[in-house]
């Protein structure tokens, strides 16, 4: 019932007569059901690959910072920075005329020692041994002769045919012959056991000493010639010809960049699921298409500082597009499920209890919350392991904060449904 003051009764009568409704007295209207326009997708099976993505830095497959062992001026460089080189190729030569002279001197001493060794082993030692044998033979013959003379004179002396002095002379000659034979035999024995071997060893030692000095001089000359230990590209050459190259300081840097290593660190749980040879992709800044690679190393030990596992991914760089030191993004495929039940990752919401849920659209166009269990993910897709069936429709986006039982219409939400209004519309609404 509407109650009005007497003073306004006449005005009310006029309004009713004019057919103008009084909104303050209108009966309560029934609130219409709200229908929300949402995007939906049918749950389907498709191949899904679990991937691990991480930041990495490209490193050369091999690297050599070549440092000279001697300090000398650079006589000549044979390569420039950026030149491709092969293992063993001559890159630079240091000043080495003094070293060449030392090498020549030691070469002469070595050749002299070779000649002395040949003389000792083929002439001197055999001759000494032969002379010792001859001395033994001669003294043995003389001993036998003196023995026979002594025996004969002793017999004649016993018969009284010769005087005693002749026997004494024969006795003295026999003693001298015996002594000469003993000396010769002892000399021959020493030649056999000691002198011959010692003479050969002495000559051999002198030869080895001379050879060692000669090789040392050769090495000195070799140190003045800088060769590349690996195949690769010259990435650094800080000096110019004529400048002093200091021993132990890098003169040239060579990197093997035909293939590069993307080195990254991953959590232990992720690394444990990887295997040598796993396929990977390397995305570099400024390059549209990622490069294909393979896992070549999974560190057997954790990094003590970060408690992560270092992983190397080898990527071919035959055209030289990639540069060592570039930060890249690596993606490693861990496992592939050929028939995974997949929904968009945005369709999955987490409730206050931490459970995963999706909004399923029923046959009556009503959205209902349903708890699900998830598996692996790839890009913006997630595997559902429990809670959904193929063919069911789920809200692909905008399911967060939607009430259970909301009436929905499948389509693309317009600006009004999404809460976005044009400035002119908002202005008009404010006026109303």
Q: By the 8 A CB rule, do 53 and 246 touch?
A: no
**Mean pLDDT, to the nearest integer, of 76-94?**
94
pLDDT in tens, 198-248: 777 778 888 899 999 999 999 989 999 999 999 999 999 999 999 999 999
- Between CA 185 and CA 135 the distance in angstroms is 8
Interatomic CA distance for residues 390 and 344, integer angstroms: 14
163 or 227: whose pLDDT is higher?
Answer: 227
pLDDT-derived band at 430 (thresholds 50, 70, 90) equals: very low
pLDDT at residue 123 in the model: 65
pLDDT in tens, 398-420: 777 777 888 888 877 554 444 44
Mean pLDDT of the chain: 82
First-to-last C-alpha distance (Å) of the chain: 28
Beta carbons of 304 and 271 less than 8 angstroms apart: no
- pLDDT > 70 fraction of the chain, expressed in percent and rounded: 84
pLDDT of residue 412: 72
What's the pLDDT tens digit per position in 283-306?
999 888 999 999 999 999 998 888
| CA–CA distance, 354 with 365 (Å, rounded to integer) | 27
Look up the pTM and report it: 0.56
Confidence of residue 10 (pLDDT cuts 50, 70, 90): very low
Residue 17 pLDDT grade (very low, low, confident, very high; cuts 50, 70, 90): very low
pLDDT digits (tens, 9 = 90+) for 91-150: 999 999 999 999 999 999 989 888 888 877 776 667 777 777 788 888 888 888 888 888
Q: Which residues contact 61 (CB under 8 A, 6 or more apart)?
A: 256, 257, 258, 259, 260, 261, 314
Does residue 403 contact residue 30 with C-beta atoms inside 8 Å? Answer: no
pLDDT band at 344 (very low <50, low <70, confident <90, very high): confident
Residues 6+ apart with CB under 8 A from 94: 68, 70, 72, 73, 74, 75, 223, 224, 225, 226, 245
pLDDT exceeds 90 at position 255: yes
232's tokens: 């690769």
Residue 1: pLDDT over 50 = no
Q: Distance between CA 427 and CA 424 in Å, rounded?
A: 5
Q: How many residues does the chain have?
A: 432
Indicate the range of 116-120, 158-162, 252-256, 414-418 predicted with least confidence: 414-418
pLDDT at 184 over 90: no
Q: What are the pLDDT digits (tens) for 324-340? A: 999 999 999 887 888 88
Give 402's DSSP letter. P
């Amino acid at each position: 019932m509407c109650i009005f003051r007497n003073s306004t009764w006449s005005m009310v009568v006029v309004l009713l007569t004019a057919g103008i409704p009084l909104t303050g007295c209108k009966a309560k209207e029934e609130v219409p059901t709200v229908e929300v326009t949402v995007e939906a997708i049918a749950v389907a099976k498709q191949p899904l690959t679990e991937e691990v993505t991480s930041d990495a830095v490209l490193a050369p497959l091999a690297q050599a910072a070549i440092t000279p062992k001697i300090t000398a001026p650079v006589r000549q460089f044979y390569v420039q920075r950026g030149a491709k080189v092969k293992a063993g190729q001559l890159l630079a030569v240091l000043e080495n005329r003094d070293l060449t002279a030392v090498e020549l001197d030691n070469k002469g001493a070595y050749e002299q020692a070779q000649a002395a060794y040949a003389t000792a082993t083929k002439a001197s030692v055999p001759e000494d041994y032969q002379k010792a044998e001859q001395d033994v033979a001669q003294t043995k013959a003389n001993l036998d002769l003196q023995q026979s003379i002594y025996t004969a004179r002793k017999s004649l002396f016993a018969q009284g045919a010769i005087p005693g002095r002749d026997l004494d002379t024969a006795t003295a000659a026999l003693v001298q012959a015996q002594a000469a034979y003993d000396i010769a035999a002892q000399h021959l024995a020493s030649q056999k056991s000691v002198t011959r071997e010692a003479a050969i060893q002495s000559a051999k030692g002198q030869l080895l000493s001379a050879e060692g000095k000669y090789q040392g001089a050769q090495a000195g000359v070799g140190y003045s010639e800088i060769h590349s230990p690996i195949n690769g590209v010259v990435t650094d050459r800080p000096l110019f010809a004529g400048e002093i190259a200091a021993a132990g300081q890098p003169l040239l840097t060579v990197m093997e960049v035909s293939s590069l290593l993307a080195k990254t660190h991953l959590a232990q749980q992720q690394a444990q699921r990887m295997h040598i040879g796993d396929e990977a992709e390397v995305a570099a800044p400024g390059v549209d298409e990622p490069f294909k690679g393979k896992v070549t190393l999974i560190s057997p030990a954790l990094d003590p500082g970060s408690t992560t596992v270092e992983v190397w991914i080898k990527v071919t760089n035959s055209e030289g597009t990639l540069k060592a030191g570039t930060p890249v993004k690596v993606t490693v495929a861990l496992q592939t499920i050929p028939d995974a039940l997949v929904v968009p990752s945005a369709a999955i919401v987490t409730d206050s209890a931490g459970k995963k849920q999706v909004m399923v659209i029923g046959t009556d166009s009503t959205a209902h919350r349903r708890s699900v269990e998830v598996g692996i993910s790839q890009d913006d897709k997630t595997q559902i392991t429990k809670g959904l069936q193929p063919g069911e429709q789920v809200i692909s986006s905008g399911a967060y904060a939607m009430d259970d039982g909301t009436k929905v219409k499948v389509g693309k939400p317009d600006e009004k449904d999404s809460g976005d209004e044009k400035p002119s519309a908002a202005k008009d609404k404010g006026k109303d």
